[in-house]
Amino acid sequence: MTIAIGSDEAGFALKERLKSFLQDRGFDVEDYGVHDTRPVLYPDIAIAVAEGIAAGRHARGILVCGTGIGMAIAANKVPGVRAAVCHDPYSAQRARKSNDAQVMALGARVVGEELARTLVATWLESEFEGGGSLPKVERIRAYEASRWSGEPADSGRRAADGREGREDRKSREGRESREGGGESNAADCQ
């Protein structure tokens, strides 16, 4: 498995340690930078890693900045990529098992090296389980596809089991009320 890794200057030292940790565990690692502590625009690194994931050059990606938040936001702008900030083992596990996140973002100012190693190991050992999370991940994929194709993701906006979501029902009821259809309920106005 090839893993892409990248950081900004705030995450440089942790990225270097994690790169060694991964290589010691037998992973091939492609380093997208930075290669020193000079300031950079972290979105450039995050997007490069995410594009490598989206293109299939890497199975997983790890991004490190001060908090992990900015890197995750930037990586999530690349279609087909799901990046998650992970600062505890449960989140690292669920990022993979429930959300099929291919990119993990860590905050070097939030987690220490030992915890970061534990998070990376937990995340790499976890696989997407599907199950009840599958329709949710599929909804994200459909939305992304619609944003890039111009087609609506799902004009019915229904849950996987066919039920309307709360907001969908409220929207329909409001529209019917304005159009003179449907029944009014005083409780809906509270």
Active centre residues (catalytic): 65
Quote the tokens at residue 188: 């809906």
Neighbours of 118 (CB within 10 A): 15
Helices of type H across 25-156: 42-54, 69-75, 89-97, 113-125, 134-149
Enclosing H/E stretch for 5: strand 2-7
Q: Is 46 exposed, middle or buried (0-12, 13-18, 19+ CB in 10 A)?
A: buried
**How far apart, in whole angstroms, are the C-alpha atoms of residue 117 and residue 101?**
18
The answer to whether the beta carbons of residues 56 and 72 sit under 8 Å apart is no
**14: Cα separation from own chain's centroid:** 21
Rounded distance between C-alpha atoms, residue 56 and residue 122, angstroms: 22
* Residue where the block lists tokens 């304005």: 178
